Amino acid sequence: MLINADQIQQMDRIKRLNFINAITGIKPANLIGSNSPKHGSNLAIFSSVVHLGSNPALLGFITRPTGEVPRNTLENIEATGYYTINHVPNHRGC
Ligand SMILES: Cc1cc2nc3c(=O)[nH]c(=O)nc-3n(C[C@H](O)[C@H](O)[C@H](O)COP(=O)(O)O)c2cc1C
């Protein structure tokens, strides 16, 4: 079944949310910790963490567009150069 961009935009909000969220399959969960020199520590969940290479060690993540709301994780990393990433494991093993 073909669905075009207009039809996606016309979907009920929850239907569109479920549809778009499911398109890329099962996503991991990662907690990115960062620190704001002004406001202190920040912990946020990110599914879009990717491993790009190991020599040199290269990781990436995608942050939602900046502008409308503050993107604290990105701002903190840019301000300090430091962050932590902790993968949230699935202990049920599936
Ligand atoms: C399961 C899950 C995965 C998420 N993955 C991302 C992501 O990959 N990128 C992103 O920008 N926001 C993602 N978010 C939304 C951020 O967790 C949310 O916007 C958070 O407030 C970001 O905080 P920040 O202001 O520190 O950047 C995700 C949220 C959930 C619940």
With 70 as the cut, is the pLDDT of residue 2 above it?
yes
Compute the average pLDDT of residues 5-20. 96
Compute the average pLDDT of residues 76-83. 96
**Nearest atom of ligand 1 to the alpha carbon of 32:** 26
pLDDT at 94: 53
Q: Does residue 12 sit within a domain?
A: no
Q: Does residue 48 sit within a domain?
A: yes
**pLDDT tens string 22-76:** 999 999 999 999 999 999 999 999 999 999 999 999 999 999 988 888 899 999 9
Q: Does residue 77 sit within a domain?
A: yes
Which residue range(s) make up the domain with 79?
A: 26-87
Q: Is 58 exposed, middle or buried (0-12, 13-18, 19+ CB in 10 A)?
A: exposed
In angstroms, rounded to a whole number, what is the distance separating the alpha carbons of residues 75 and 53? 24
The domain total for the chain is 1
With 60 as the cut, is the pLDDT of residue 13 above it?
yes
Q: Does residue 42 sit within a domain?
A: yes
Q: Does residue 57 sit within a domain?
A: yes
Is ligand 1 within 6 A of the CB of residue 30?
no
Probe residue for ligand 1, chosen from 46, 62, 86 as the CB with the greatest number of ligand atoms within 8 Å: 46
